[in-house]
Chains A and B, each alone.
Chain A
């Protein structure tokens, strides 16, 4: 793409409408005429009318826009990228994280800190996992890189707390075991592909 095209590219489709403004008066006499015309045509009162109309609409026709925030909340998108969630396996209920450490490595803000050990059954287990939300920039790289879809972003956006550690421990982010049936997966980039089951092949025993 040449620079010309690059500058002129049409970002989206906006329906800009040009206001039909009067030509800017140049001479004093023109200015004077404009002022007289505007004062006598009572343009200012139109402004007053608009605000009064809005007020009447708001007060008597239930057109108030305010959401009383802590008591009412606006719905958010299902894939909103707020505080992370750690997912569980649906069948066993065990957490999905395999302790690969990819998320810790990729995090550009260096917010994730984790530690692993080998459990009794020689499976890698997470002994410590914290995200410092004072540093996290909610870039989503951790969720993207995770091979197990174990870490995803959730809809918890009220991040004020008395303690910095309040909701950043592994247990806090992990889906509670009794909520397992409500755990949601979303299609789209980064999720399990739709034909995942079809693509499963037997591991060739020749290895």
Chain B
């Protein structure tokens, strides 16, 4: 099998309630969490992962909700993971940074087993964002916890990379004037400097560029939202900084220039290089829990968070039938791989779909009219969107096919944002 990565479902509850989090905080999640815990303790989730993805796994990611709440169990299971997946070299997880203590012993144990760790820390910026989006005091507490982790790991031999994951809602972007944007980047600069000076271990690295702001996606985006996003990018560029979008675009052009524009490398590896696993297979961690009725009920009721056009029971039924492969059914796994491989490997249909949709939107004034007049510009946009901004899961939820991108994404990027980034790169 082709898989080198796994996303394992490790938790179902979270002590926080971030404003944009798509996971409903309902009593049903407590039950799910208990089941998840059992599957870690009795190791059944790792066995399912082996059936679904084979034994060639090199990277494992812990996903679900906040992994810090199960770090003790995960620490105990490192030998099991190593035994089932002898090639395992990397573990990564994403944390809210609310607690350092459970993470430190885990990284030490992983290091002793020769496993490198990557920690993605959700921090959205200074207090006027982080404390609002995440929890009160987050802008201080989170960096301090990271400092604590770094300081406690002076001696680890394996590599540890820490990167930030700032997520901005459209509202955040709209509210950030030039001074707030400067404040945002200054905040991360200061935090990075403090952590780097606290770090005494050459095996530990802070990925500084990861502070570039990422918009919350997906969304039910309108043309005006796209205009607001473009304006935000313009303001960021005016301060001499870059957004995550800018960085992606630079990468896109660099690869194009080197004739290496490879869809597979530029996008996530969902269903292609990695398999997500809980009670069954999933596209990625974002589709976790969709096999559970309570979760689906809550997600449908709270569509403010699940900002997709077609989150309804039929879409969920489809997702369950076709995109949650059964670990005990080889035929089902092969079928799923065939579809996902088709999505990742080939790009012509995606490009033509995006071009056609962009032209339709341009004709009704929902994206830049320039797309109607300049086929090269249109092609470039479609290539960029199809390789660097294409999420199969979001596509499925919105359009019912991994191969069709929703209008929402095209509006979001096609109302000045793409032009703004190109201008800057030029």
Asked if chains A and B come from one complex, the reply is no
Interface residues of A (CB under 8 A from B): none
Interface residues of B (CB under 8 A from A): none
